[in-house]
Structure 1
Amino acid sequence: MSLSITQSQTVNQSVIRNFVEITKLRLSVSVVFSSVAGYLLGADTIDFFVLFLLCVGGYCMVGASNVYNQIIEKDLDALMDRTKNRPLPAEQMTVRSAFILASILTIIGIAVLYSINPITAMFGAVSIFMYVSLYTPLKTKTPLSVFVGAFPGAIPFMLGWVAATNNFGIEPGTLFMIQFFWQFPHFWAIGWFLFEDYKKGGFFMLPNGKRDKGTAIQVILYTIWTVLASLIPVVGVTGKLYLTPISGVLIAILGMGLIYYALRLYNQKTAKAAKQLMLASVSYITLLQIIYVADKFIR
């Protein structure tokens, strides 16, 4: 009796672990965090049920994208140290099971987002389509894959605003632009310090395919554009999306920190400097979203 209970617990733990890994829990939660920030910025009054639906629908959509991605890249993932222990290449889950899971997550995700409003569901569906059908296959073909992937990657922050307002305008467009530019230094930093591992899988993640001065200059340029885009709401030209000068100063300080790490990568051209830039970029976008939301509710 105790043996069957132990076996059952082991199976349950394995299923949970596979679900967490194949849907990329940490990444999915960070994406949901962006959507929640966008919702709080757009909402006149907070509807916690809608917020709950956004979290569920958002996680399902991101999770589905990640599962489809890993189905397509199963054989390539097996070649790289970073991904070889994922459920599919490690044969802890079958492709059929993964496809069924991805399909269920897609249906639930679109249905839940549609229950908020149709525009939110449409953007969620566009995000999955672009990530799976365009970004994923292009990763082994061209460095432009990062540009294509920046579109679905920038949707979550904007998606929250659309969920709150049932409208797309200058405000969600600005949120989209901020996260769009941010994708480049973030993913190029990852592509830099994981260069050798990506090479095993045949992925082209850096803009000119090399860890050199040209790539580092592009990282700096996109980092500057990210910071400038982040400061646009201070000027008061983005409708209801407004940032007070005090918050603008805080964002500028964060931005100078991000630019500092981009310059360090240019000067050092090392994997360590790239990893530091990646961590700085994650801190930047997270703190930026917190400052934006805090600014709205404190002023």
Structure 2
Amino acid sequence: MSEVQAIEKSPGILANYVEITKPRLSIVVVFSSIAGYFLGAENYSWITILLLCIGGYFLVGSSNVFNQIIERDRDALMKRTMNRPIPTGRIAANHAWIYGLVMALTGVYLLFLINAATAFFGALSIVLYAAVYTPLKTRTPLCVFVGAFPGAIPYMLGWVAASGDFGIEPGTLFMLQFFWQFPHFWAIGWMLENDYKAGGFKMLPTGATDRGTAIQIVLYTIWTIMVSLIPAFGVTGDLFMTPWSAALILLLGLWFLYYAIKLYKERSNEVARKLMLVSVSYITLIQIIYVVDKFLR
């Protein structure tokens, strides 16, 4: 391909700036916040929902921008990330810093318009993700544990946006998304082991796609299923579910567990990919069932 053709095929400036926010991931995260909001709200405010959507997207997007700035040299070493806007030079790192900072400050401000607690947890998620989780990725597999904290905040953030405080209900939502992240990200780490190694990232708990990692994936999947069923026992305040919904959630959990066990038995990239896709479907369907159950009671 000639240089002229390459320039013609390269994304536009706006497309590059959208790309570094990782829009698909950011939208999924915002979806979980909205699910948490509908679970926690007694009266629904479309202004609050709009602020939560835009502010939440800005916060997640800025975290992704900061992450890519810090990892730009390592991203250039991996097939999966080498064509991102920053390592290819389509966006200068200093421009990305300004962009990320503006997004972060705007996002925190929009969440502050909802209430102070929502703004606090939103800001905390950026700090944990960009300043703690990202640097740890090249140092220790414990980075996944640290990264699970900011990753679990969005679901509970919606409840906090609705209620204005943190209690047993958003705490339960936090726990569910916290434990779910381990099998989800370890499945990704398994599938992309060689790419991560090329970039110098330590994502798997044992450092390899071995029996020890597979066992931990199974264990965290079981804990995720257990936490998902806690609201059925009436011990989580205003967050509870009917037996019918609990049965559906259990079936989804067994579907999730099936692929975790299958990965333990076969230890293949193909099964790891299926587990990753199932994990995404699982958490999305769980959130939908929680909300639908509330409206059908």
> Which TM-score band applies after superposition, normalised by the shorter structure?
over 0.9
In structure 2, what is the equivalent of residue 260 of structure 1? 258
Query: What TM-score, normalized to structure 2?
Result: 0.96
Matches of 1:11 and 1:105 in 2, distance apart? 28
Uncovered stretches (5+) of structure 1, i.e. residues with no partner: 1-9
Equivalent in the alignment of 1:64: 62
Verify: 1:247 aligned to 2:252, yes or no: no
Deviation of 1:12 after TM superposition, in Å, equals 12
**Equivalent runs, 1:72-151 vs 2, <5 Å:** 72-151=70-149
Cα deviations by residue, 1:95-137 (Å, 9 ceiling, x for unpaired): 0110110010011001000010000000001100000111000
Structure 2 unaligned runs (5+)?
A: 1-7
Q: Secondary structure at the match of 1:141?
A: coil
Give the secondary-structure state (helix, strand or coil) at the position aligned to 2:84.
coil
Deviation string, structure 1 residues 245-285 (Cα, Å, up to 9, x no partner): 00000000000000000001001100001000000000000
| Among candidates 283, 286, 293, match of residue 284 of structure 2 | 286
Cα RMSD (Å):
1.2
**Aligned equivalents of 1:163 and 1:104: distance in 2?**
22
The aligned residue for residue 198 of structure 2 is 200
Aligned equivalents of 1:159 and 1:126: distance in 2?
11
Give the secondary-structure state (helix, strand or coil) at the position aligned to 1:116.
coil
Give the length in aligned residue pairs: 290
After TM superposition, list the pairs within 5 Å mapping 1:20-59 onto structure 2. 20-59=18-57
For the residue of structure 2 that corresponds to 1:18, the secondary structure is helix
- For 1:100 and 1:113, locate their aligned partners in 2 and report how far apart those are by CA, in whole Å: 20
Q: Secondary structure at the match of 1:277?
A: helix
- Separation (CA, whole Å) in 1 of partners of 2:139 and 2:12: 34
Q: Measure the CA separation in 1 of the matches of 2:13 and 2:222.
A: 43
- The percent identity for this pair of structures is 61
Deviation of 1:15 after TM superposition, in Å, equals 2.0
Q: 1:21: how far off? A: 1.4
Cα distance in 1 for partners of 2:224, 2:13 equals 39
**1:20 shift after superposition:** 2.3
CA distance in 1, matches of 2:35, 2:13: 31
Equivalents in 2 of 1:21, 1:140: separation in Å? Answer: 24
Length-normalised TM-score, structure 1: 0.96
Distance 1:279 1:75, change over 3 A: same
Matched with 1:183 is 181
Q: Deviations over 1:211-257 (max 9, x none)?
A: 00110000000000001000000000000001110000000000000
- Give the structure 1 partner of residue 220 of structure 2: 222
